[in-house]
Amino acid sequence: MRLNRILLSTALVVVALVVQVSVLARLHLPGAVPDLMLLVVVGLGLVYGHTAGCLVGFGAGLLADLAPPADHATGRYALVLCLIGYLVGLARPDSGRVRSATVPMLAVVGAAVLSTLLYAGVGSLVGDTAARHVGLSGLVATAACYDLLLAPFVVPLVMAMARRTVSDPLTGDGTAVAGGGDGAYGRTTKGSFRIGRMSRRNRLGGRGRGRGGRLGVQHGGLLPRAGRRQPKLKGVKRL
């Protein structure tokens, strides 16, 4: 990942973590908690692709595992968000731009359901059975509902900010195609103007030299040279 992408991803993840811990976790909503970290990972994965989405998801999940008041094993949520970022990045279009809102919304719903199931599954492997007592089906339904309601306010903003750090797919250097084309056309027009001006000078110079005596040689001797002596004809007055 480039430096500007790393800085943007880090800033977005830290802000999401602060809001998640200080605001969303204190709402005491029934069922699951709206997962702002998940929405940031989804938005970045749809723009950057599966590799960057995997790295961002792992970093975001690791911060969530270490941030208080975390009460689960370290690395549990990092594994979940790493897989989510990778899978969401696979849904990134080849052009790099999502043309409709259907793909992000489906990605949010799928990520919310899958992350809840993965989190509960990894918890069962390490001996955490809290999801069974709360009700796994209720957690999945509320997580998908909360994240889907919050997604229109978060995911488009994250994707818009992430696109500013992505180079243009045609030029590869972040410059617009019109700018490069304008420069190319400008050089071609200028070069052709120079060539036309030089050819015009050559034609004028050829005419001037022809008046001095070279034009007659170039055109097969139709005009006599200035230094050639003309034959004398009797009875004809020389001009």
Q: Supply the pLDDT for residue 71.
A: 72
Half-sphere exposure of residue 193: CA atoms within 13 angstroms, side-chain side: 6
pLDDT tens per residue, range 148-173: 999 999 999 999 999 988 864 433 34
Residue (of 110, 116, 112) closest to 134 by Cα position = 116
Could you give phi then psi for residue 157, rounded to 5 degrees?
A: -65, -40
Residue with tokens 């995911």: 155
DSSP string, 78-116: HHHHHHHHHHHHHT--TTS---SSHHHHHHHHHHHHHHH
Query: Percentages helix, strand, coil for the chain, rounded to the nearest 5?
Result: 70, 0, 30
Distance CA 62, CA 116 (A): 16
Half-sphere exposure of residue 8: CA atoms within 13 angstroms, side-chain side: 23
pLDDT tens per residue, range 35-81: 999 999 999 999 999 999 999 999 999 998 888 877 777 888 999 99
Taking residue 47's Cβ as centre, other Cβ atoms within 10 Å add up to 23
Q: Give the predicted TM-score (pTM) of the model.
A: 0.67
pLDDT tens per residue, range 205-226: 554 444 444 444 444 444 445 5
Q: Supply the pLDDT for residue 216.
A: 42
Share the mean pLDDT of the chain: 75
Task: Tell me how far CA of residue 86 lies from CA of 41, 47, 101, 159, in angstroms.
Answer: 10, 12, 20, 16
